[in-house]
Amino acid sequence: MNNDNKARQARMVLEAAYNAWQRLAPVRERRRRYARYTYGDQWSDLTTSRRGEIMTEHDKALTEGRMPLTNNLIRRLVKAVIGRWRTDNEPDRATKQPADDNSLEHWIEFNSLYETDARTLEEFLISGMAVHRVGREKRQAGEGVWVDNVSPDRFFISAVTDSRCRDMELVGRITDMSLGEVIMRFARGDRKRAMMLRRLYGAIAGAGRRNVALAPETDESFFHAPEGRCRVIEVWTLECRETLRCHDPLTAVYTVSGIDRQDAIDAENSRRRAEGMPLIDSRWEMTSMWHCRIMAPDGTLLDEYDADTAGGGPPFAVKLYPMVDGDVHSLVEDVIDQQRYVNRLISLMDKMMNSAAKGVLLYPQRCKIDGQSWEEIGELWSDPEGVIPYHDHGTCEPHQVVTPAADIGAREMLTTQIKMFEEVSGISDALLGKAGTGVVGVERYESQVRNASIAVCDILRTFGDFVARRNRLISRA
């Protein structure tokens, strides 16, 4: 394939990668919302005020006189599931024996994978996506098999419906490197190519600054890196290739090569035929093969190669949950509505208690002093040590009306919602490590924990399958 055709095909692959990235935009948007809820920012959803203004729920609550309070049950849920995973899967470090070099256990320790897996599980519970990239590389910290946790914000994949992702035809990630790292990785020891890469990314950075209005820093972008960084796009595609399966009886070697070797094989067979030697037996066929292209944002090929791992697959371990009809849904998504309602009830109860404690001030207009505004009177009244001057008109004077808090069942509703949160999520007191009522034996308590784990067994087993798949990639690298 000549250079023009390779460049044209690279741009087509880059366009396909961008389309795959765009297809996951709703997933990334939901993930950011679920992450906000998980880490305590639970009043940032946009809503409409009574006047039709678009504002956050936090601002709307303040305009309605409510304090937007948060009781973060989602964070407790996520921490409980991660704790259960670590308890069941991490070995006892005190009794753990040193691993042999180049063994799976060695690379697990080399990459601190027990800690990495815990953070990946946290991502899996929030977004329903877990992605690792496995590759043998030489880095500043050492040479060997490296496992990188790939954020869903930097990952793209073709449309898949198989829960094992075996029907994917395109997969990749975007990374941001320093210019020095780009030159070190892709200059191939050629100073002229290094200078070309420097000019290339200088031009890309200049174009990005000119188009900053089209891609602001707060907006995610497929093509633009942050200031001072170089965007690199890694794309793996499943392609059909013409191949030759060859058997040489002289050397008893069986090889698979590209169609471009046909002329060389024909010439060798002509020579052997003239000398009466056994001929190379070759057979043409079409074969599917994973091919990697590493590109700059403008489509310039930085590097390309075929998959060289055993099995010929891309170096990504991917798990999307639950993948029913190709959709991704997380555990956090299931409890968002219960969390929102709990926050609303807590804010409502807080407003009711404040209103009941403070009451309402009845201030006759005849008692109002000239030059004093109603806002100033309200501020003085809200101050516990405030003094409110007024004109005395006999029986006409300001007074406060205090009524007992109305019982509208808010406490019972709050208790019900918290119980529903536990039932929907499957995280009960036993799984949280809380002691049961009465005297409970060890065996019975452990049985309660096992029974409580059934509700989250599916998602934990699914994540366990992801870890096993990742470990197979490590063993093959």
pLDDT tens for 262-317 read 999 999 999 999 999 999 999 999 988 899 999 999 999 999 999 874 457 899 99
Using CA atoms, how far apart are residues 315 and 147, in angstroms rounded to an integer? 10
**pLDDT given for residue 310 in this prediction:** 44
Q: What are 380-399's pLDDT values in tens digits?
A: 777 766 788 877 776 777 77
Q: Which residues contact 162 (CB under 8 A, 6 or more apart)?
A: 323
| Nearest by Cα to 306 from 375, 245, 250, 258 | 258
| Nearest by Cα to 240 from 315, 290, 307, 171 | 290
Q: pTM of the full predicted structure?
A: 0.83
**pLDDT given for residue 367 in this prediction:** 81
- Cα–Cα separations (whole angstroms), residue 252 to 257, 280, 303, 343, 396: 16, 10, 34, 73, 114
**pLDDT given for residue 215 in this prediction:** 44
Q: How far is residue 272 CA from its own chain's centroid?
A: 59
Q: What are 134-157's pLDDT values in tens digits?
A: 999 888 788 899 999 999 999 999
Q: What is the b/e burial string over 372-406, where b = at least 16 CB atoms within 10 angstroms of the residue's CB?
A: eeeeebeeebeeeeeebebeeeeeeeeeeeeeeee
pLDDT for 260 beyond 60? yes
Q: Report, as an integer, the average pLDDT of 392-410.
A: 67
| Nearest by Cα to 74 from 454, 465, 425, 451 | 425
Mean of the per-residue pLDDT values for the chain?
86
Query: Which has the minimum average pLDDT: 71-85, 129-143, 339-353?
Result: 339-353
Using CA atoms, how far apart are residues 125 and 75, in angstroms rounded to an integer? 11
**pLDDT given for residue 218 in this prediction:** 39
Query: Which has the minimum average pLDDT: 164-178, 340-354, 415-429?
Result: 415-429
Q: Report, as an integer, the average pLDDT of 325-334.
A: 91
Instruction: Report yes or no: 88 and 359 within 8 Å, Cβ to Cβ.
Output: no
**Single-letter amino acid code for the residue at 143:** E
Instruction: Report yes or no: 121 and 89 within 8 Å, Cβ to Cβ.
Output: no
**pLDDT given for residue 435 in this prediction:** 57
Record the tokens describing residue 469, joined without a space.
């798949």
Record the tokens describing residue 333, joined without a space.
């998504």
pLDDT for 24 beyond 90? yes
Q: Which residues contact 68 (CB under 8 A, 6 or more apart)?
A: 43, 57, 58, 61, 62, 343, 347
**pLDDT given for residue 190 in this prediction:** 93
What sign does the CA torsion over 433, 80, 40, 333 have?
Answer: negative
**pLDDT given for residue 214 in this prediction:** 44
Q: What are 87-134's pLDDT values in tens digits?
A: 889 887 666 677 788 899 999 999 999 999 999 999 999 999 999 999
Backbone angles phi, psi at 290, to 5 degrees: -85, 130
Instruction: Report yes or no: 393 and 365 within 8 Å, Cβ to Cβ.
Output: no
**pLDDT given for residue 325 in this prediction:** 85
Q: What are 202-229's pLDDT values in tens digits?
A: 988 877 665 544 444 434 689 999 988 9
| Nearest by Cα to 14 from 231, 190, 181 | 231
**pLDDT given for residue 439 in this prediction:** 55
- Cα–Cα separations (whole angstroms), residue 61 to 44, 49, 343, 347, 407: 11, 10, 11, 9, 22
Q: Report, as an integer, the average pLDDT of 40-68.
A: 92
| Nearest by Cα to 265 from 249, 251, 246 | 246
Using CA atoms, how far apart are residues 356 and 385, in angstroms rounded to an integer? 19
- Cα–Cα separations (whole angstroms), residue 109 to 39, 104, 335, 413: 29, 9, 35, 48
pLDDT for 377 beyond 70? yes
Q: Which residues contact 168 (CB under 8 A, 6 or more apart)?
A: 157, 158, 160, 238, 318
**pLDDT given for residue 399 in this prediction:** 72
> Quick one: what percent of the chain has pLDDT higher than 90?
54
- Cα–Cα separations (whole angstroms), residue 296 to 66, 176, 180, 232, 234: 50, 11, 15, 5, 9
**pLDDT given for residue 429 in this prediction:** 66
Per-residue confidence at 358, pLDDT binned at 50, 70, 90? low
Using CA atoms, how far apart are residues 415 and 430, in angstroms rounded to an integer? 18
Per-residue confidence at 421, pLDDT binned at 50, 70, 90? confident
